[in-house]
C-alpha cells in the first residue's frame, strides 16, 4: 500500500514521494518582506523560500501562479513568463529546486476578470463582460482572435518554463481566473463555440492544454488544476465534473490537480470525496489540496487512495520543515 513517502513515477519523471507544495503566491504580510516584495524578480531569499522546503523532504514544488500574458497579471510581486527575458530568473528558481533534489513545476495563469487593472493597462479581459465580483472592474469580452492569442501565450510560456529547466508546468484552470471563468455558468454568457453549453464552456481550457502539449511535446509533464468548489453555487454536477475530467484526459495532460475547500468533504450531496469520484472517472494521477493540516491528514489521503499526491499549502507555509516533521511523525524519524 502506498504511503506519503512512497516514490512514484509519471512517464520519465521520478518523484521521491507524494508530498507536494501547492502553488502559493508570495502575498505581502503572509511571509517576510524579503521573500514577498521582489517586484516579480527571483531573488536569493525567494530561491531559499522554495529550496528549504525541498531540503526538508518535500518531493514536489509547484511554483506560484506565473503570468503568461501582460494582459493577465494579477500580483505586482508575482512572476512572469510572457517574455524571453523572464527565463533567466525562473531558471534560477528551477535550478534551486532541482539541486535540492525536488521536482520543479510552475503554475501558469492568465488572471482574466480577476487580473489587476492597474497592472494590465487599465482594462480586464473575460469570457463575457461580467465582473468577477461587486468590487471588480467591468471586463471586456474576449474576441475569438484574442482567445487564440492567449492560448498561444500559454504555449509560449510553457516553452519558456521548459527552457528554464522545470520538470512540469501546471495550467491554472481554478479559482475564477481566466480559464476557470470560462467554465463558470455565471461568468460565461457567450453564445459562440466558447460558451452556450457545458462542452462550449470547457473548450478554452481543453484547447489550451492541448496546445501546450503540442508545443512542448514530452519535454515536460503537464498538470492541470481545477476547482469544482468555485462552481458549487451554480449547480455544478457530477456530469459536469465527468465531462471536464474526460476532456482533460483526452487533451493529453499527465496529472489532474484538484483544489478543494476540504479534501475530505463530501461532494454532490454525498459523503464521497472529490478524490474518490475522480478515481472512478480517470486513470490520470491525482493531486489534491485543501485543508491538509497535519502529516496524518496528508498520509490518509494517500493510504485511502483519494489521490496520488497530497498538496499541503498553509501548513507548509507556516512550517517549512513540515516534511521532516511528517517523516518523524509517520515513520519515527
Ligand atoms: C498565500 C497563498 C497563496 C496562494 N496562491 C495560489 C496560487 O498562486 N495558485 C493557486 O492555484 N492557488 C493558490 N493558493 C491556494 C493553495 O494552493 C491551496 O489550494 C489552498 O491554500 C488550500 O490548501 P491548504 O488548506 O493546505 O492551505 C494560495 C493559497 C495561499 C494560502
- Regarding the beta carbon of 106 and ligand 1, being less than 6 Å apart is answered no
Q: Please, are residues 157 and 83 in contact by the beta-carbon 8 Å criterion?
A: no
Q: What is the mean pLDDT of residues 273-301?
A: 98
Confidence of residue 217 (pLDDT cuts 50, 70, 90): very high
The mean pLDDT value of the chain amounts to 97
Predicted model pTM: 0.98
Atom of ligand 1 nearest to the CA of 261: 22
- Regarding the beta carbon of 78 and ligand 1, being less than 6 Å apart is answered no
* Residues 49-97: tens digit of each pLDDT: 999 999 999 999 999 999 999 999 999 999 999 999 999 999 999 999 9
Q: What residue's CA is closest to ligand 1, atom 25?
A: 291
Q: What is the mean pLDDT of residues 294-320?
A: 98
Query: Which contiguous run of DSSP H or E holds residue 65?
Result: strand 60-67
DSSP string, 102-152: -EEEEEEE--GGGS-TTTTTT--EESSS--SSTTSPPPEEPPHHHHHHHHH
Residue 67 to residues 25, 61, 77, 158: CA-CA distances in angstroms? 11, 18, 11, 11
* Residues 117-148: tens digit of each pLDDT: 999 988 999 999 999 999 899 999 999 999 99
Site to substitute for ligand 1 among 21, 313, 318, most atoms within 8 A of C-beta: 313
pLDDT for the residue numbered 170: 99
Q: What percentage of the chain carries pLDDT values higher than 90?
A: 95
Query: Which contiguous run of DSSP H or E holds residue 171?
Result: strand 168-173
Atom of ligand 1 nearest to the CA of 314: 27
* Residues 9-60: tens digit of each pLDDT: 999 999 999 999 999 999 988 899 999 999 999 999 999 999 999 999 999 9
**Cell numbers standing for residue 57:** 523532504
Atom of ligand 1 nearest to the CA of 312: 26
- Regarding the beta carbon of 175 and ligand 1, being less than 6 Å apart is answered yes
Go through 284-322 and write b for each residue having 16 or more CB atoms within 10 A of its CB, e for each that does not: bbbbbbbbbeebebbbbbbeeebbbbbbbbebbbeebbb
- Regarding the beta carbon of 73 and ligand 1, being less than 6 Å apart is answered no
Q: Where are the domains of the chain?
A: 8-331
Please classify residue 144 by burial: count the beta carbons closer than 10 Å to its beta carbon, then call 0-12 exposed, 13-18 middle and 19+ buried.
exposed
- Regarding the beta carbon of 313 and ligand 1, being less than 6 Å apart is answered yes
Q: What is the mean pLDDT of residues 172-195?
A: 98
CA distance linking residue 7 with residue 82, whole number of Å: 34
CA distance linking residue 116 with residue 77, whole number of Å: 12
CATH architecture of 8-331: Alpha-Beta Barrel (3.20)
CA distance linking residue 275 with residue 286, whole number of Å: 8
Site to substitute for ligand 1 among 19, 23, 115, most atoms within 8 A of C-beta: 23
pLDDT for the residue numbered 333: 59
Site to substitute for ligand 1 among 20, 25, 107, 262, most atoms within 8 A of C-beta: 25
**In this structure, what are the phi and psi dihedrals at residue 141, rounded to the nearest 5 degrees?**
-70, 130
Q: What residue's CA is closest to ligand 1, atom 4?
A: 24
Amino acid at each position: 500500500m502506498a504511503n506519503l513517502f512512497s516514490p512514484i513515477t509519471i512517464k520519465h519523471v521520478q518523484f521521491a514521494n507524494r508530498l507536494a507544495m501547492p502553488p502559493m503566491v508570495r502575498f505581502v504580510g503572509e511571509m517576510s518582506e524579503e521573500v514577498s516584495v521582489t517586484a516579480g524578480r527571483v531573488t536569493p531569499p525567494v530561491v531559499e523560500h522554495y529550496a528549504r522546503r525541498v531540503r526538508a523532504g518535500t518531493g514536489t514544488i509547484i511554483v506560484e501562479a506565473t503570468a503568461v500574458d501582460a494582459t493577465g497579471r494579477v500580483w505586482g510581486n508575482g512572476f512572469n513568463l510572457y517574455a524571453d527575458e523572464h527565463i533567466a530568473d525562473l531558471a534560477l528558481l528551477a535550478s534551486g529546486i532541482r539541486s535540492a533534489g525536488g521536482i520543479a513545476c510552475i503554475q501558469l495563469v492568465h488572471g482574466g476578470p480577476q487580473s489587476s487593472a492597474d497592472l494590465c493597462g487599465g482594462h480586464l479581459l473575460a469570457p463575457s463582460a461580467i465582473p468577477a465580483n461587486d468590487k471588480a472592474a467591468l471586463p471586456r469580452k474576449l474576441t475569438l482572435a484574442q482567445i487564440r492569442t492567449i492560448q498561444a501565450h500559454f504555449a509560449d510560456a510553457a516553452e519558456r518554463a521548459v527552457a528554464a529547466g522545470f520538470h512540469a508546468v501546471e495550467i491554472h484552470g481554478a479559482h475564477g481566473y481566466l480559464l476557470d471563468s470560462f467554465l463558470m455558468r455565471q461568468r460565461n454568457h457567450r453564445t459562440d463555440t466558447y460558451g452556450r453549453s457545458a462542452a462550449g464552456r470547457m473548450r478554452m481550457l481543453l484547447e489550451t492544454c492541448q496546445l501546450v502539449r503540442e508545443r512542448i511535446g514530452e519535454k515536460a509533464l503537464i498538470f492541470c488544476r481545477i476547482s469544482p468548489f468555485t462552481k458549487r453555487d451554480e449547480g455544478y454536477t457530477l456530469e459536469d465534473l465527468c465531462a471536464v475530467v474526460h476532456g482533460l484526459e483526452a487533451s493529453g495532460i499527465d496529472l489532474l490537480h484538484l483544489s478543494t475547500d476540504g479534501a475530505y468533504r463530501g461532494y454532490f450531496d454525498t459523503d464521497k470525496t472529490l478524490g474518490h469520484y475522480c478515481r472512478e472517472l480517470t486513470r490520470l494521477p491525482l493531486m489534491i489540496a485543501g485543508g491538509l493540516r497535519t502529516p496524518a491528514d496528508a498520509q490518509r489521503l494517500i493510504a485511502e487512495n483519494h489521490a496520488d499526491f497530497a498538496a499541503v499549502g498553509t501548513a507548509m507555509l507556516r512550517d517549512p520543515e513540515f516534511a521532516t516533521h511528517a517523516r518523524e511523525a509517520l515513520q519515527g524519524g
